[in-house]
Structure 1
Amino acid sequence: MMSNEEPAAGQLLPWVERVSAFCVDEWGLPPITGRVLGWLMICDPPEQSAGEIADTIQASRASLTSNMRLLTSIGLVRRARRPGERTAYYRIEDDAWQKVIQRKLDSLGAFNDIAEEGEALAGRAGTDTARIKVAKESLTWLRDIAVRNPR
């Protein structure tokens, strides 16, 4: 029998921890940053105060504040105030994941420039440049696939 009730935060936290583990393993982010992202993807209402987030993911306010500052500065999370309230609320940006992917694609393009510089320094021949060329070709291939197959 299915219930129409919303799940309690405690039921959602194992999923939030999975998101956090992914962010740690794949992107080298601190666990709390992954927890914030996971919670803001699944919470209801989608806007949460820092206190609500900290209480739910069991983080200190100081640690949460620095992570929220990071996430807002890179454009993944938006901070807003409601009229007549002093409390700030946070929400994951609707295009947060597109921003993450675009940054990764941009970094692949930036590596291409670095690889070309390395090839020039090594003289574009020999085993030194062969390793650079393999890296450059692999990353260019990945970038080209993503550009050819946009979402």
Structure 2
Amino acid sequence: MGDGQQDQVMRWVERVATFCVEEWGLPPITGRVLGWLMICDPPEQSAGEIADTIQASRASLTSNMRLLTTIGLVRKVRRPGDRTAYYRIEDDAWHKVVQRKLDSLGAFGDIAEEGFAITGHEGPRTERIKAAQESLTWLRDIAARNPKR
């Protein structure tokens, strides 16, 4: 890959990282790892290759890789005869991210019910809770009508 294309790839990785920071509150390094693993070739990369590419310390990368493998977005891969661990993004990583968000929307229903009990189901406090509940339920229902293709 030429320098111009490498620069373009790294700008894209940084855009993914910025999205992950701004939209999901993830650390920038986590977003860079996800961005790099989406676009890298070959799709499996060692921790050293990832750290070198995204310019991260090994310690920071190790903790982020542990997080990403634990939550199922990245998979550790071994090659026969090679003691190095490689990592690749799961094929359904983004579906898992979206599904977790949708599950959290449904979980707000229980929280809202508790809020209604506290407010006595009347008044402006109840209306604010109801507005949040209706918006989150609306979003969850839209997603349920449009399953993964």
- Which runs of 5 or more structure 2 residues have no equivalent in the other structure? none
- Which runs of 5 or more structure 1 residues have no equivalent in the other structure? none
Alignment partner of 1:99 is 2:115 = no
Counterpart residue number, 1:48: 45
SS in 2 for 1:91: strand
Measured after TM superposition, the shift of residue 120 of structure 1 is: 1.2
Query: In structure 2, how many angstroms separate the alpha carbons of the residues matched to 1:113 and 1:9?
Result: 48
Identity %: 79
Question: Alignment partner for residue 81 of structure 1, among 78, 81, 106?
Answer: 78
CA RMSD of aligned residues (A): 1.3
Query: In structure 2, how many angstroms separate the alpha carbons of the residues matched to 1:111 and 1:12?
Result: 38
Query: In structure 2, how many angstroms separate the alpha carbons of the residues matched to 1:118 and 1:9?
Result: 51
Counterpart residue number, 2:105: 108
Alignment partner of 1:133 is 2:135 = no
Query: In structure 1, how many angstroms separate the alpha carbons of the residues matched to 2:136 and 2:126?
Result: 15
SS in 2 for 1:117: helix
Q: Which runs of 4+ in 1 moved over 3 A?
A: 5-11
Counterpart residue number, 1:68: 65
Counterpart residue number, 2:14: 17
Question: Alignment partner for residue 23 of structure 2, among 22, 26, 42?
Answer: 26
Summarize deviations over 1:5-50 as a string: whole Å, max 9, x none: 7885443100000000000010011000000000000000000000
Query: In structure 1, how many angstroms separate the alpha carbons of the residues matched to 2:6 and 2:42?
Result: 12
Counterpart residue number, 2:115: 118
TM-score under structure 1 normalisation?
A: 0.94
Query: In structure 2, how many angstroms separate the alpha carbons of the residues matched to 1:17 and 1:136?
Result: 34
